């Protein structure tokens, strides 16, 4: 899928497409209402809309990303509602069958999250879970009965920790997919820091991408 991507908007890559596969499977058998948070280019929102979703909403805190998602959806003739704001705030009071998220998840030097620039698309606090944890906490408030949260992240962030966080919010959590890939430029540049913190083994230059699902009880 070729997408418009201006500077400072996250480029869809391996994690995006691994999550897209899980998203297609999740909505294959039902006309789901889908919410794509941390939407970026709108790649996942476009995937949902082109795969039979009943309604699709894309949310991003970046105005540039919101504009990009709108253009990418409209250029394909896809019905995607686009909103600018922080995670679930723009859709407060609404319910969705599927929430999908490819959020920032790269561990950074401290817990201050950037408010502009390219690093906004990947910096996620010291443990890489600053945004992941917020999504886990807020998703039950926007999921319909039987609805599911699908997220992708790096195993460097701690897969068991993310699953535990989802379970603590009342979601039935499981791993749907895993894929090992070499570090990209950002992880490579931060490898010495990750080694020093014990997040990766000395000399390790690969990560495991993980897609998890947290489902609400019927």
Residue 139 CA to residue 146 CA, distance in Å, equals 12
Tens digits of residue pLDDT in 135-176 = 999 999 999 999 999 999 999 999 999 999 999 999 999 999
The reported pTM is 0.93
What token pair was written down for 42? 């709108």
- Spans of all domains in the chain: 14-215
Tens digits of residue pLDDT in 167-184 = 999 999 999 999 999 999
> Strand order in 33-37's β-sheet?
81-84, 55-60, 33-37, 96-101, 143-154, 206-215, 172-182
Find all residues with CB under 8 Å of 85, minimum gap 6, and list them.
59, 61
CATH superfamily of the domain spanning 14-215: Vaccinia Virus protein VP39 (3.40.50.150)
């Amino acid at each position: 899928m070729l997408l418009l991507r201006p500077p400072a908007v996250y480029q869809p890559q391996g994690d995006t497409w691994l999550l897209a596969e899980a998203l297609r499977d999740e909505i294959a058998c039902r006309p789901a209402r889908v919410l794509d948070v941390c939407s970026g280019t709108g790649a996942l929102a476009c995937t949902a809309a082109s795969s039979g979703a009943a309604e699709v909403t894309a949310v991003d805190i970046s105005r540039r990303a919101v504009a990009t998602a709108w253009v990418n959806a409209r250029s394909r003739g896809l019905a995607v509602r686009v909103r600018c704001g922080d995670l679930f705030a723009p859709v407060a009071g609404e319910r969705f069958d599927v929430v999908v998220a490819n959020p920032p998840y790269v561990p950074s030097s401290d817990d201050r999250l950037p408010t502009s620039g390219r690093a906004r698309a990947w910096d996620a606090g010291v443990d890489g879970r600053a945004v992941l944890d917020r999504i886990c906490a807020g998703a039950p408030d926007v999921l319909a009965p039987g609805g599911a949260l699908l997220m992708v992240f790096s195993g460097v962030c701690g897969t068991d920790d993310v699953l535990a966080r989802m379970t603590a919010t009342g979601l039935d959590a499981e791993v749907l997919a895993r894929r090992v890939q070499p570090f990209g430029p950002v992880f490579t540049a931060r490898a010495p820091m990750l080694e020093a913190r014990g997040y990766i083994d000395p000399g390790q230059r690969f990560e495991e991408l993980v897609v998890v699902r947290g489902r609400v009880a019927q």
